[in-house]
Structures are given as C-alpha cells and as structure tokens.
Structure 1
Amino acid sequence: MYIARVPNRKSRPAILLRESYREGGKVCTRTIANLTNWAPERVVAMERLVKGEFDDWSGEMTSGEIFGVLLALKQLADQVGITRVLGSAAESKLNLFLILARIAHGGSRLSAVRWAKQHTVADVLGVEGFDEDDLYAALDWLASQQERIERELYQAYVKEQGQPPVLVLYDVTSSYFEGECNELGQYGYNRDGKRGKQQIVIGLLTAEDGEPLAVRVFEGNTADPTTVASQITILKEQFGIAEVVMVGDRGMIKAKGKAALSAEGFRYITALTDAQIRTFLKEGVLQTDLFDTHLCEVEHDDKRLIVRRNETVRVRERRRREDKLAQLQAKIAERNAFVKNSRRASAAAGLATLQRWAKSHKLSAFVTLTLKERAIVCTLDEEAKAQDALLDGCYLLETDVPLTLMDAKTVDARYRDLQKVERNFRTVKTTFLEIRPIFLRKAERTKAHVFVAMLALKITRRFEADLHRTFGSTEDDPAAITPDDALVALGRLTYLYSTDRNGQRHPHLPRPDEQQAKILEAIGLSFPLKPKADKRAV
C-alpha cells in the first residue's frame, strides 16, 4: 500500500490510499480509501505506517543518546576543514572528539569520557569505546602534528581569501593552574589576578579578521616581547609569508622584536607605554596640544608616531579617579570616627591600611595621608593630580609602515583590531570554551590542550557567524539564538527507542522541531537524514 496524491484541476489534490496487485500478469491499482478530508498530520502518520516505520512497535518510546550536538558540531568541523586535516587515523578521530567536547562540554579528559556515554560518538564520529588514557595518547599525537595542521589550515584560509594576509594580529595571555606539577607552570605576571598560582603564557596569532592561525604555549614566567621571535618563525618558515605587518599591543614589540621583524622584511604597528610617551613629551618630540586633535602624526627616527586621544576613555578615567577619591574620603571619615570613639584603636594602623589602599588604587602619586593628633588627614596635590591625568585617554602608536601604504587613520584602525584577539581569548578562557582548569602535567600535552582550544575556537567562530546570519545578534535582538542556546536546543535531539513484542529495542531518529530545524539549516544541515546502520527515521 501507498499514499497517492492526484491532481484535481482547480480543486485541491485528492489523497488516496492505494495498493498494487497483479491480474493476469498485469500490474493493477485499486483505491482502498479516500483520505482527502483527513487532517494533514493523520495523512503523514498513515504514510509512515504503510512504509513500515512502525513495524514491530509496541507503542512505547524511550529516549536514548543525544545525537544533535555532535551532529551539528561535526558539520561545522567539516566546513572549517578540521576533519580533513586531522585525517582518519584513530588518534585523529579521538582528537576531533576532544575538540567538539571542548565546545559542548569542557572539563577534563576523564569527564569527557563520562560525557561521551550520553552522546552518539560512535555513530557520528566513528569512535568506539575509549578511556582517558586513550585521550592522553591522542594529545601526544596531536602535539607532534600541530605545525602540519596549522600549515594546512592556513593554506585553506589563503585559498578561501584569495591571497595571503597582509596583516596579522598577535597578543598573549596567561592561564593559571590549581596544582604545581605542570612542566611549563611558572610564577609570573598573572593577567587573571590569581596571585600565588603557577601559570602558562599563551601567544595567539590571527589574521586581520581575527581568524586564528597559530597558537604557542610558553613557560609562565616568559616576558611578552620574547615570544615575538617564535611568531616570526611561524610566519616565515611555517607559512612561507614574505611580507606582512604584525600588530602587537604596547610593550609587546620592543627593540629586539622590531629588529627581528625588520631583518625578515616584515613591518609592525604597536603602541608605546605611558612612560615612553612622557619621555617624548619631556624631550620635545611631542607636545601636549597634539593630543587635543582627533588624530595626528609625527615623524621621529624614521618611524611614524600616530597621536590619538579617545575622549570616551578620557571621561571614564576622570570619573574613575574622582570615584576613588570619594571612596578614600569616606574610608578616612569612617576610620577617624572609629578611632575617636575607641581609646584602644590604633590611629597608626588605620593610616597604614589606607596608605596601602591609596597605593593599590593608584592615588598615591597625588594623595598624601598623614596623622594629625589621632585623625587621618588627606592632602591633595592638584598639580600632581593634573600630571597624573595628563594622558587620560591618550595613546601613541608607532609603525614603520610607509604612509604610501597605510595612512594614519588606517594604522589606528588596524591597531584597534587587536580587540578581535582579545575577544578570542575571552572565548577560549571564560565565556565558552573554558580552557581552565588544566588537568595536565606534561609540557607537550599542555601545548596540545591549548591547540585543541584554538581549533575549537575556529569552529565556534563559524558557529557564531552562521547563527548570526540566520537569527541576528543579541546586540540587535536580546532573544537571538547564541551558540549556547543552540547547543541546548540540539541537546533535545536524542535517539528514540521502541520495544517490539519480543522485548528487543529498535532505535529511531526523531524529526527536529521548528527551532532545531532552523539551527540545523543555519549551519547547512537539513532533515530527513539517513541514520546509521539500522537506525530508522520515524
């Protein structure tokens, strides 16, 4: 039997339940029932029934493993090219699992093994049973393949863009450990504000649009400028780039880095520190009124100095300074009142505490705290305060890119593109991929763990772009679907199991609801899908 839809001129088609039979060696058809007036959902149910989709079904359905999450992320990995460059070896498939699990789950290798039991890893990724030791071995393999994978992904990026990047962005961050046994872990400048914890330093190299190209891990006490040399090696030897402009944050590209870039024919854009700006002001290279203009340029020692003041930042810094002063005055008043009402209270101890507070909040340059009898007195040096506020919102860019190739406005815009790298770091460290905590000891495995996060970042960027095209951004619509929302919605797509009269379970793939269908369509997937092996769509 089957469902036939017969055109009916200007009326709606007739929907008929028919069957075929043979009579005298000839195939004949007869109509069993007219379903034209049935509700559409009943017609669909009948159509699935005659196809045999409900054979041996007892009428009860139970949910099974989640397949929507890995299915979608695997599609994105294919689009980015990660599946292709990893290859088909057993270690490749395990690393693909680690990358996708980093997006959807995070956590340690052991927790990833537990997470895998709730998802269709075998059907979607072709990976059968494994444990955490298998995942550690996969990380060892990935560490040995990192340069090759980065190079092949870079070549794919160049092919997609039509040309090599003319500008690259570079920045570093740090990530701390809870333990003290990692081979790369050292005490250093902690950007997370976690004192007393060992850390690693991570350097991320991206294209102008923020697309990650390469990542390197250094010991936790590595100074930022010393990491530049490794990036030059990546650009020159690994990617074969002959000419490019590297953009680095203030204090990143210093004298040795500039010389190394120049020796390879590369150019740079960086920012100078406040101390360097004040030195230029003292020497007369710059004048304070230059910062009053929106954007201007000065030449010095064959370098271009781009002078800029951000008015929004200037106002914010001024308000922040006044707020801190108001807090200090309130603390002084509270402490003086306490000392006045308590004969045993130590005025000197209170003075020392507030002096430390003023220093930590960068007020000590123009604030002096003293004791007069038993009361704390705050003296404000207005001239010193004006000097402290002189460079509020000001920054100075330095570049050796000729004016004929890039004007001052473009240099400023390219420097501000570093925000894309910072956004990548936020995604990797806190908002989505959660690279911490790092449950590893060996150096190579730690590097591979960070590389897994970078590859996951490439997928996440594609995921965000696809969702943004379809649903918009949360900036425009607070109800827009984010990657987190999409993963929650896809997590409802699970296998459904029916049980026949003999007690045997049969898996089925459900149809996605409207929201799930839109998400899958946004990333290039649509139903019906052909299920694996004996798994049948219901």
Structure 2
Amino acid sequence: MDMYIETSKFKTKSGKIYSSTLLRQSYREGKKVKKRTIANLSKCSPDEIEAIKLALKHKLDLANLGSFDESVKCQEGLSVGAVWTVLEVAKRLGIVNALGSSRDGKLALWQVIARVIDQGSRLSAVRLANTHAMASAIGIEKGFNEDALYQNLAWLNDNQERIEQKLFKLRKEQSSNLFLYDVTSSYLEGDKNELADWGYNRDKKKGKKQIVVGLLCDDEGEPISTEIFKGNTSDLTTFYSQIEKAKKRFGCEKVTFVGDRGMIKRTQIKALEENGFQYITAISKKEIETLIKKDHIQLEFFSKELYEVELDGVRYILRKNPRRAEELDQNRVRKRAAIKKLILDRNQYLEEHPKAKVETAVKTVNAKIKKLKVDGHLSLETEERTLVLKLSEEKLKEESRLDGCYIIKTDLKQSEADKQVAHDRYKDLAFVESAFRTSKSTLELRPVHVRTAESTHGHVFVVMMAYMIMKNLDMLWKEIDTTVAEGLKSLSTLTTIEVTLNDQTKFEKVPEPRAQNRALLGAAGVSIPKIIPRNDAHVATKKQTRKSAKKT
C-alpha cells in the first residue's frame, strides 16, 4: 500500500474556487487498485504539508535522514518584501496587465519596479535583480543583462500607445471628463541625444541641452499619458497632440482641458472648439490690464472672495491672493536691500580709489537692477562720485497694483461648473507639478543619459508608471506616517530563507515579518505567500565593477 498527498481544485455554481489537500492511500483488492482518504490536510500550513511529503518520500529510511542540522540547510535568500509590495500595487493599477506577459512586458515591468525601489541606470536595475526576488515575483525564466533593458526601452516606445490605451480603459469608468496638462524640461548629460536642443531651462542648468516633457493627467492627478518633445519646443505647440490623443486614442467625446496661462491661448481654444472640447485656463497680467482699460473689469473686483464676469460667452473668475501679494512685496524689499548693499560697496570703493571710474560702478549697479527686474521703479543717479538709488513711488504703486491678482478663464457654463469649481479645477494643476517634482528628483527622470529618441521615450514612460505606483503607496502609507522611501527600505530587509533538504529538495520560505513590516504590508493590503517558487534565471551585468575588474 502506498500513501501520497493529493491536491485538487473545484469550482462551485456561484463561481467560487476551493482547493482541498488530502492524504490518500492506494491499495489492491484482487486485481483492482482502489484509493481511500486517510486524512483531510486542507487546514494544514504549506510548511506542514511539505514536511509530510518529505516523510512519505523517505518512509523506508527515516532513520538514515540524520539530525535536523545534517539534513536541513538554511541560508539567507533574496529580498522579497519591497518587490512583492510594488508588484501587487502595479497589478491593482493595471500596469501588469497593460504591459502583458511577454518577455519584453516582464522586462519593462522590472524596469518600473526597480525605478520605484532604487532609482538608477539600466545597469543598476540589473544589479538590483541580484538582491531582490525579481525573477520569482515576476516570473522571468530567462536571464538578462543591461543590454536587454536598453533594447526594452525601444519596445516600450513602440508599444506606448497600446499600453496607455489599456491603462486608460481600465479606469475610464471612474475618471471624469477633465484632463490636466502641463510641461517641464529635463536636462541632458552630453549633447548626443536625438531630441536634445536649447530651450527655456526649468532645471536652471547652464550649458546643458534639454528635452521637453508633457504630462497628461486625470482630475485626480493620475497620469494618463506622457510625451517627449525636442528641447526647443514651445508649451503651446505641445498642446495640439494632447487634443488628438483625447479624441482619437482615448475616444473622448466631451473633455475639459485645464492648462496654465502659457498653455491655452487663442489658437489652442479654437482647436478645442473644433473638437467639441472645453477649457479652463488663466490669463496673463497684460491681458488683465487690457480688460481693465476697456472697463470690462475694475480693480475693486479683486478680493479674497471670488468674483465673476461674463463676456461674449466666456467667464472670467477674479481673485486676489493676499499671501502672494505680501510675498511679492517682501521680494521687492529684499531686492532693494541687495542693490543698496552693492551701491554702498561701490561708493566705498570709489572713495578709497580716486582714480576709479564712476562709469564702471554705474554699469555694475545698473546691470544688477536689470537682472533683478526692478528697473521699472528703481533708477540710479550720480552726485559727483557718489551713486544714489532713486525709488519712484508712483511707478511702484502702478507696478504692484495687481500683486496677487489673477483671473481664471473658461467656456464652461455655470450649470457645468460654478465659479468655485472652475477655480478649484484650475488649482488642481498642482497635481501635475507635484508629479514633475517627484519624477525629476525622487525617480530620477533627470539627467537623461540615453541617446536615441526611442530610448528617451521609453525611459520617461518607465518613470511615469513608477510615479503611478509611488503615488498610490504614498496614499496607502500616509495613515501610518511613513514615506514611500522609508517603507520600501524597511520592506527590503524582509528576505526569504533558502531551505535545502538533503542537498536535493530546495524551496524559499518567507519568515513572519517583524511588526514594522507587518504594519506596512497591512496598510498596503499586500499578502506575501509563505513559500516562494525558486527561480534560477541568470541575471548579470556585462560591465564589471571596479573592484571585480581589478581582480581579473
């Protein structure tokens, strides 16, 4: 008679799937082989079932198994906590499904997960796979090196539209018909990138070419699509492709675009109208002054409370931010103090050096005044060899009268969005600004090291998906007062225990997490299996580290 363990799954009429684990015995009655159930092991833990399997396997030589120390070997395995958590969140967000189960899809998934756990190059992502249970979690069967990840960036570029469409379709029912859009720039290392060019550098990196990055988000700041443009592309020019995406790629019939004052102008509004879309934007200081001159609005309309004016079917929502007005005033005071200090230094120098030219000192101070952009109300005069700063109170009053004042412009009807809603939706552009800050600093969007346009698009797309995960984790861990970086650092310490039985049977056991990690996993709603399947996919870098290179 032979005993064995049998595991089976069955589906009920309601669709629920149950599994049972039974200890069975086969025996012979005459010429027939029959089976019977000895025990129901369904409530046993995986570890207990493995132990029973081991005992059955060695039932004839249990005495020869030796002591526990001789038969069972344990050693530290790979980190599992962080990679499993990020993977589970990626599944919920639809990223795993959108990338697909192909080898390229799984390599792209690892690039996204690696970017969340520990930012860096494709080389560092490969090295990270040697410390985290990446292959087991994702199910990559064949190893890879950094070249495979660089090639994978091109695959991401080729499949970006398809992936973004899948991600959009998954949450289309939950999102509103409102898109937030903004752009930023990201500087480059070197000048060989195919999209590199000179432009308005938001990173304040002198002597560095750049690319322009556009990000389209839903009303909650969740990224929908990202797009790369040449470094000299204007904000206005990038907007047209966003309209086309909404219309053709995402199949939207009614959408309201929200963009800042430099994004949505007359021609962009016309393009929106032609596609049946609407807008919320703001107008420039010059446009505000024009409205005042034409007596369409008055300076008295600006206050802490919202005030609305409608002209030719377009609504203008006015407000004055007292805090911003105070900031601008204090900023002028600081600039004036800096100029006064420079004048004091120059006057002292002129006094101590009789041969020094007054014209040179005047040129230096005027350059400072122009650089600080206060030449509208400040001017420099000379009295013999002394420099004197002159302040025009009248010009200062004129210059500061619109401090903190802004106007939001929209073609939405009152029934579609009252003035408070329209105002708040414009302020939601802060979501996109936050995404840029996190992507450029924490997720290391910049500096861009790749050269081809395809790799650049792939790199930025990876960062966008990584931001989606990080944003979600930040929300989940906010209640336990833990940052994403702190949480992932702690979870990275949760490693498997690699168990070897009699130098043959191998499996990876996950120990019970300590209290801190239990709290993190619980808040994220992540459950890590007790036993992790082994995966011996060979992941290695082509490039040697300095230390290993010296040894060879």
Same fold at TM > 0.5: yes
Tell me whether 1:135 sits opposite 2:136 in the alignment. no
> How big is each residue's C-alpha offset from its partner over 1:335-392, in whole Å with a ceiling of 9 and x where there is no partner?
3223322345444333322222222222111110233333221011111111111111
Partner Cα separation in structure 2 for residue 167 and residue 265 of structure 1: 13
Compared CA separation, residues 332 and 533, structure 1 to 2 (3 A): same
Tell me which residue corresponds to 1:121: 134
Compared CA separation, residues 381 and 67, structure 1 to 2 (3 A): same
Tell me whether 1:452 sits opposite 2:462 in the alignment. yes
Tell me which residue corresponds to 2:274: 263
Tell me which residue corresponds to 1:487: 488
In structure 1, stretches of 5+ residues that fail to align are 1-27, 29-45, 472-479
Match of 2:120 among 103, 107, 125: 107
Tell me which residue corresponds to 1:33: none
Checking the alignment, whether the CA contact within 8 Å between 1:366 and 1:384 is kept in structure 2 is yes
Checking the alignment, whether the CA contact within 8 Å between 2:508 and 2:532 is kept in structure 1 is no
> How big is each residue's C-alpha offset from its partner over 1:131-175, in whole Å with a ceiling of 9 and x where there is no partner?
12111221111111111111111111123x1xx522111111111
Tell me which residue corresponds to 1:399: 410
Compared CA separation, residues 388 and 138, structure 1 to 2 (3 A): same
How is 1:324-339 mapped onto 2 (pairs within 5 angstroms)?
324-339=335-350
How is 1:84-483 mapped onto 2 (pairs within 5 angstroms)?
84-127=97-140, 128-159=142-173, 161=174, 165-292=176-303, 294-343=305-354, 345-430=356-441, 432-468=442-478, 470-471=479-480, 480-483=481-484
In structure 2, give the amino acid aligned to 1:415. Y
Q: CA RMSD in A?
A: 2.8
What is the deviation of 1:504?
Answer: 11
Partner Cα separation in structure 2 for residue 364 and residue 408 of structure 1: 37
Give the secondary-structure state (helix, strand or coil) at the position aligned to 2:172.
helix
What is the deviation of 1:283?
Answer: 2.5
Compare relative contact order (CA 8 Å, sep 6+) and give the higher one, 1 or 2.
2
Partner Cα separation in structure 2 for residue 85 and residue 49 of structure 1: 36
Tell me which residue corresponds to 1:477: none
Tell me which residue corresponds to 1:72: 85
Partner Cα separation in structure 2 for residue 255 and residue 64 of structure 1: 61
Match of 1:83 among 96, 112, 137: 96
Give the secondary-structure state (helix, strand or coil) at the position aligned to 1:107.
coil
What is the deviation of 1:48?
Answer: 12
Compared CA separation, residues 96 and 506, structure 1 to 2 (3 A): closer
In structure 2, give the amino acid aligned to 1:244. V
With structure 2 as the length reference, what TM-score do the two structures score? 0.81
Give the secondary-structure state (helix, strand or coil) at the position aligned to 1:250.
coil
| Range with bigger deviation, 123-132 or 449-458 | 123-132
What is the deviation of 1:115?
Answer: 2.3
Sequence identity (%): 38
Give the secondary-structure state (helix, strand or coil) at the position aligned to 1:205.
strand
With structure 1 as the length reference, what TM-score do the two structures score? 0.83
What is the deviation of 1:498?
Answer: 6.4
What is the deviation of 1:218?
Answer: 0.8
In structure 2, give the amino acid aligned to 1:121. M
Compared CA separation, residues 56 and 504, structure 1 to 2 (3 A): farther
> How big is each residue's C-alpha offset from its partner over 1:197-217, in whole Å with a ceiling of 9 and x where there is no partner?
111111111111111111111
In structure 2, give the amino acid aligned to 1:235. A
What is the deviation of 1:530?
Answer: 2.5
Partner Cα separation in structure 2 for residue 466 and residue 527 of structure 1: 17
What is the deviation of 1:303?
Answer: 1.3
Compared CA separation, residues 500 and 357, structure 1 to 2 (3 A): farther
> How big is each residue's C-alpha offset from its partner over 1:8-48, in whole Å with a ceiling of 9 and x where there is no partner?
xxxxxxxxxxxxxxxxxxxx9xxxxxxxxxxxxxxxxx999
Partner Cα separation in structure 1 for residue 508 and residue 416 of structure 2: 62
> How big is each residue's C-alpha offset from its partner over 1:99-158, in whole Å with a ceiling of 9 and x where there is no partner?
111111222112222222222221112224211211122111111111111111111112
Compared CA separation, residues 264 and 534, structure 1 to 2 (3 A): closer
> How big is each residue's C-alpha offset from its partner over 1:46-91, in whole Å with a ceiling of 9 and x where there is no partner?
9999888994468986534322221111111111111011111000
In structure 1, give the amino acid aligned to 2:484. P
Give the secondary-structure state (helix, strand or coil) at the position aligned to 1:438.
coil
Give the secondary-structure state (helix, strand or coil) at the position aligned to 1:148.
helix
Tell me which residue corresponds to 2:530: 529
Compared CA separation, residues 84 and 57, structure 1 to 2 (3 A): farther
In structure 2, stretches of 5+ residues that fail to align are 1-37, 39-46, 56-66, 537-552
What is the deviation of 1:511?
Answer: 2.2
Compared CA separation, residues 75 and 57, structure 1 to 2 (3 A): farther
In structure 1, give the amino acid aligned to 2:154. D
What is the deviation of 1:188?
Answer: 0.6
Checking the alignment, whether the CA contact within 8 Å between 1:107 and 1:437 is kept in structure 2 is no
